């Protein structure tokens, strides 16, 4: 955590003039997708009001099988994601974890710097896909999602913002991976839900460019879950190049999510997961985490 964190800004000068998104921090970008950071219970009032009572009740019902890190039956997962793709629902639901999303996006942005062909796994309505596309007009960023409605919303948002270096594909990663080669594949809280992680990783490996990397920020809060994730990577012949944590805060809770960078084959670093998770726990206990919106607005 020690070093100062600078806001990341879009290089507007190099953007095509047709791209009419106006401003450039991660916080502002997510806001365009209805994702806002709240530090207080005000969130519940705002989210309830935005969604309305019946949509909020339906989200709660559909959310039950989609608990953290659990792989449940694909049909209920798909129903949940199709429903929350509704623009009135996506923002309020995701805002509950706005800082997780923002901090993961910040970490991913710096890891993929200089890489041009990118695949965003589980792109939802495309908030990460378009952010990465905006960082470099020479980039081509592909988003893939199981939910047809998410993909439609992603394409609609990209068009609305005049962002042309993205494309969105509907597909279930358990059966299909878009054609590469990709210099970077990013995974924010998606691979944790697939049924056959090793199978998906093997298919992904085949689409990686030489020296391509997989950057994964799963919501895995326990060493033993991360252990299975690393074992799957190893089985699929991905070598872990680095392991760190992304820290986030929001609505009275601080979280640490692993950030794993892996490449095809080659050396795997040894990760002492028990120690890593203990250290993360100490960091979380040691004081408040600066939220991405504080970092973006330069608040001390
Ligand atoms: C928790 S959301 C993460 C969204 C985004 N990556 C983020 O971090 O803000 C998971 C996304 O993955 C998609 N998804 C879940 N299982 C999938 C699968 N088997 N194939 C493709 N997409 C999937 C969901 O539809 C959803 O949009």
68 CA to middle of ligand 1, Å? 12
DSSP one-letter code for 15: S
Candidates 145, 152, 199: which one to mutate for ligand 1, based on the most atoms within 8 Å of Cβ? 145
191 CA to middle of ligand 1, Å? 8
pLDDT at residue 76, as a whole number: 79
pLDDT at residue 8, as a whole number: 45
13 CA to middle of ligand 1, Å? 32
pLDDT at residue 22, as a whole number: 45
pLDDT at residue 272, as a whole number: 96
Candidates 93, 122, 148, 255: which one to mutate for ligand 1, based on the most atoms within 8 Å of Cβ? 122
- Give alpha helix (H) positions in the chain: 26-32, 42-51, 53-63, 74-84, 87-95, 98-111, 127-134, 148-160, 197-206, 223-235, 273-285, 292-296
Give the closest residue to 129 by CA, choosing from 97, 93, 153, 98: 153
Which stretches of the chain drop beneath a pLDDT of 70? 1-23, 65-73, 300
CB under 6 Å to ligand 1: residues? 77, 81, 101, 104, 122, 124, 128, 144-147, 150, 172-174, 188-190, 193-194
The residue behind tokens 């890489």 is 115
DSSP for 155-214?
HHHHHHTT--SEEEEE--TTT------EEEEEEES-GGG-S-HHHHHHHHHHTEEEEEEE
The ligand 1 atom at the shortest distance from the C-alpha of residue 127 is: 9
Summarised one tens digit per residue, pLDDT across range 212-231 is: 999 999 999 999 999 999 99
Q: How far is it, in rounded angstroms, from Cα 256 to Cα 134?
A: 27
Q: Are 140 and 118 in contact (CB under 8 A)?
A: yes
Summarised one tens digit per residue, pLDDT across range 241-260 is: 999 999 998 777 899 999 99
């Amino acid at each position: 955590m020690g070093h100062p964190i600078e806001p990341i800004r879009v290089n507007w000068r190099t953007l095509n003039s047709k791209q009419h998104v106006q401003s450039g921090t991660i916080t502002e970008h997510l806001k365009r997708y209805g994702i806002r950071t709240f530090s207080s219970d005000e969130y519940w009032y705002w989210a309830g009001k935005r969604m309305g009572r019946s949509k909020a009740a339906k989200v709660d019902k559909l959310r039950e099988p989609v608990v953290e890190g659990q792989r449940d039956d694909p049909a209920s997962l798909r129903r949940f994601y199709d429903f929350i793709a509704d623009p009135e629902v996506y923002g309020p639901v995701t805002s509950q974890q706005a800082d997780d999303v923002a901090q993961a996006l910040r970490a991913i942005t710096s890891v993929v710097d200089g890489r041009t062909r990118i695949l965003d796994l589980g792109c939802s309505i495309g908030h990460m896909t378009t952010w990465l596309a905006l960082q470099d007009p020479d980039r081509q960023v592909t988003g893939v999602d199981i939910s047809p409605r998410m993909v439609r919303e992603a394409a609609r948002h990209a068009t609305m913002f005049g962002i042309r270096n993205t494309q969105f594909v509907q597909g279930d990663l358990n059966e299909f991976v878009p054609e590469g080669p990709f210099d970077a594949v990013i995974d924010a809280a998606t691979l944790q839900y697939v049924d056959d992680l090793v199978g998906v990783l093997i298919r992904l490996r085949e689409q990686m460019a030489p020296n391509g990397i997989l950057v994964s920020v799963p919501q895995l809060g326990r060493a033993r879950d991360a252990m299975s994730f690393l074992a799957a990577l190893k089985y699929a012949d991905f070598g872990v190049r680095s392991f760190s944590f992304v820290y986030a805060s929001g609505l009275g809770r601080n979280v640490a999510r692993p950030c794993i960078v892996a490449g095809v084959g080659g050396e795997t670093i040894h990760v002492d997961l028990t120690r890593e998770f203990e250290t993360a726990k100490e960091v979380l206990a040691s004081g408040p985490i600066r939220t991405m919106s504080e970092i973006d607005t330069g608040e001390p």
